[in-house]
Structure 1
Amino acid sequence: MTVATRTHPILYVDDEPANLLAVQYAFEGILPVEIASSGEEALKMLGERRFSVLLTDQRMPGMSGVELCAHVRDRHPDVVRIILTAYADLHSAVDAVNRGQVLRYVAKPVSNEELEEVLRTALDAHEATRAMRELQERALRATPARAVSRRLAVQLAEPLRRLRSSLAHGGDLVVALQRTEDPTRREALLGELRHAREDAEREVMQLEEMRLRLDAELVPDAAPPPAVDLARLAEGAVRLRRAKLDPAIRIALSVEGTPRAFVEASLFGQVIDALLDNAVAALSRKGGGRIEVVVGESEDTGWVTVRDDGPGIPEPARLRVFDPGFSLHGGAGFGLARARERVESAGGALDLERSTEGTSFVLHLPLADRMEDRSGEYPKRRTA
């Protein structure tokens, strides 16, 4: 699974140029990694832009890895902090974990495969923290604090417990990996580590689902919708769907721009889900296949294409695909007719594209930046 392009990058700090280049090369096209050659340079970079994860060597001249993590905890507490350490420096790293300065340490030497699993788990931890913070902020803006506190405590308790358990188990597996040289045992541990990361991803997705539901409940119908990042919302929808898919069905996301549109996040999520439902149903009948979600922007519109390599839609059905009550694959749900209606009420369009194979739907929404440039106001909604 490739980390989505919207993720803030990982910052890797090491005073050895060869190590910096090796890690950057190993994860090129797999994980977003930027590099710094000292603690001072790392702090400067962290002050200039956002990062999800800090991975730092412990033994460096000037500022050690533990000292760097302590500074980052105070200045950028949302950044997940990990220390790479040799056995001789293990005591300092363990002490830093116990004092809350780092999420975990990784003993050297470590393989690229092991390090990738550690970094992916750290990205999941960062995403979970972000989702929880957004849940709390949105709820507090709309309801009395005491009621919010009780509600969130109940809703978050179980997914947080499972997430902490998955992250802790992943840390134990990394330690076990580094203590064995038996190839069979290492392969088994790596498989278990992947499962632990997938468990953590599922909990992050559940938190994102809760955030979308809270959006739908708390945003009044009469209030203007905020400008939202379509790529980020599409990423969340894909992550949620990926966790539920049959292994024979693959789903990929690519981002070709940074479109923002005036639309409710919950509405956008429902429309994308309806399109994904259609694609999954088509591929399930075929026995598997590929779904591609592409997000981009043109001069005035942001767009999302959802296409599959299934059997396609016969011509008679193409003429009725958006008719109320018509179903391509049976069953109820949000439905394509309702999806188009809701998109049009937000000033956009939903169309079935001509395709030589499979099925391709495209969603268009006016770009918020263009609307603001022209009038300083959000677009007027059309009544159904």
Structure 2
Amino acid sequence: MRTPNVRVLYIDDEDHNLQAFKASFRRHYEIYTAISAAEGLKIMKNVDIQVIIADQKMPNTTGVEFFQSITETYPDPIRILLTGYTDIEALADAINHGDIYRYITKPWNDLELHNSIKNAYDAYKAKIDLRKKIAELEKTNDELNRFIYSISHELRAPLVSVIGIVNLVKMEGLFNSSGEYWGLIETCSNKLDYYIQKTLQYYKNNKTTAEQTEIDFSKLVGELVDVYSYTDRDTQFTINVNQTLPFIGDLFRIEVILGNLISNAIKYQKVDERNKKVEIGVNVTADKAEISISDNGIGILNEHLEKIFTQFFKSKVQHGSGLGLFIVKEALNKIDGRIDVSSDLDRGTTFKITIPNARE
């Protein structure tokens, strides 16, 4: 039975071999034959060949040399070498460089050669399918990049304007002039902004290549506390950084990790707590940084401790997107870090992080 659309080129300097091949396989494949490498190249310029069979011992150009010469210009066709004598070095070199798919000794066995052609065509289809899938993935990736750009600029820009207007209303003493409406606008705007920021963090964490830079934890932690503490000025921070050695690490992901944990430590304080506290400790050694972040907030149920790092997990006593700790875990995985958590309900939570020092 003829296998449709399988175009096979056979190159051999002996005409009787060409005729025998065509007689044996013309009913199975679309056969093209050439008496020399130069003639074979002419055929390839006009026909989309999928499988090439070439004899090794030909004048002017051997089969291996021909395959090597078309690697860049015709990379897709699958190559089968026919050899009537043993040339181990030439065969090994050709196989190692990917110039041939298989070699078959002459005189060939029809069944062996037929199976080799079918397998070669399957390999050809797999190669083409893979290229199409890669092209589709690249297109999807480009579309995703444009979508993320839209989120970070076109969507967030008007949202920031709304938040700015709410702040102006507060400054002019009009925040409570319309009942709860301004408060609802502020709450919804902040929540949407939070979701957008977490989406961007998740995307960048998965896309961004690690860049190792020197990190000053005193400066970094201080800046992050300033950024996140504006939401609750009543929370008191105690920061203790012990860093006498340089620390080299991925600044972007470490900022994401610490930022999320500091934000949570503030967010999950008890509403009626008069002495809200967050303690941050950093100890840097030659091989790692050990960081602890403790609060006296609402705590986490024991049965939830193993679930808090899963995507979209939210306990009944906590609010949020369920993305923050998931992003923390993903970022730590990217930098070979580790995180442990202990918590007592209504007494607080402690996160302990270990991040390798990449200074060596």
Question: Quick check: which has more Rg, 1 or 2?
Answer: 2
TM-score between the two structures when normalised by the length of structure 1: 0.36
Q: Report the TM-score when normalising by structure 2.
A: 0.38
